């Protein structure tokens, strides 16, 4: 079975987010998604909310056939970095290599989002080259210029990285 999961979503717990958690689940279901990763900026507060509301499980199993993955969009010293599958403290300002190490050590996946969008705090190629990455976001629905997604796709192919996609909905 194929699963459709948005790996980059924000809630009202992000400084720039407005989406209510329950509304996010409803909207995702209406769009035919099987789940999403909650990746608020520098916080896992929405993960805690989903857990306390019974909409998410600590063991990673779906609730009512809908999967919510823990995550965070960390503002590193060189740009944004998604931490997927883990709950971490606020690491704002940390170096990107150290962030990747902490994410991997915790069992998560480090994914640079919107890397070629010069207006959205993506980590630049010179820094990306030095990171021990396994994946990169190659489609971001909110990029300023669509060519940024193509450049990310080309970079992923060049480095043989897994490719992710996300709405970056706020």
- In the chain, the percentage of residues whose pLDDT exceeds 70 is 100
What pLDDT is recorded for position 88? 97
Please give the backbone phi and psi of residue 6, each rounded to the nearest 5 degrees, phi first.
-80, 120
Q: Which residues pair with 83 in a beta bridge?
A: 72, 110
Average pLDDT on 119-124 reads 94
- Given a cut of 90, whether residue 169 has pLDDT beyond it is yes
Reported confidence tier of residue 161, pLDDT bands at 50, 70, 90: very high
Average pLDDT on 3-31 reads 97
What pLDDT is recorded for position 118? 87
What pLDDT is recorded for position 1? 77
**DSSP class of 54:** T
* Residue 8: its H or E element: strand 5-9
Other CB atoms within 10 Å distance of the CB of residue 27 = 16
Sequence ranges of the domains in the chain: 5-166
Please give the backbone phi and psi of residue 109, each rounded to the nearest 5 degrees, phi first.
-115, 125
- In the chain, the percentage of residues whose pLDDT exceeds 90 is 98
pTM score? 0.97
What pLDDT is recorded for position 60? 95
Contact residues for 2 (Cβ-Cβ < 8 A; gap 6+): none
CATH of 5-166, one of 3.40.1710.10, 3.20.20.140, 3.60.20.40, 3.40.630.10: 3.20.20.140
Contact residues for 95 (Cβ-Cβ < 8 A; gap 6+): 76, 77, 78
Q: Residues 84-120: pLDDT tens digits?
A: 999 999 999 999 999 999 999 999 999 999 999 989 9
What pLDDT is recorded for position 34? 98
């Amino acid at each position: 079975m194929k699963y459709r999961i948005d790996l980059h979503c924000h809630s009202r717990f992000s400084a720039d987010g407005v989406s209510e958690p329950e509304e996010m689940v409803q909207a995702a279901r209406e769009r035919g998604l099987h789940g999403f990763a909650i990746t608020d900026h520098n916080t896992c507060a929405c993960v805690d909310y989903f857990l306390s509301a019974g909409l998410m499980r600590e063991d990673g199993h779906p609730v009512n056939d809908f999967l919510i993955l823990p995550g965070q969009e960390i503002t590193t010293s060189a740009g944004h970095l998604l931490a997927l599958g883990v709950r971490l403290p606020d690491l704002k300002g940390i170096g990107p290599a150290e962030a990747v190490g902490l994410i991997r050590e915790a069992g998560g996946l480090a994914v640079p989002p919107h890397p070629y969008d010069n207006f959205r705090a993506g980590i630049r190629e010179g820094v990306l080259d030095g990171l021990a990455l396994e994946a990169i976001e190659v489609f971001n629905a909110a990029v300023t210029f669509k060519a940024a997604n193509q450049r990310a796709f080309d970079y992923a192919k060049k480095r043989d990285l897994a490719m992710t996609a996300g709405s970056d909905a706020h």
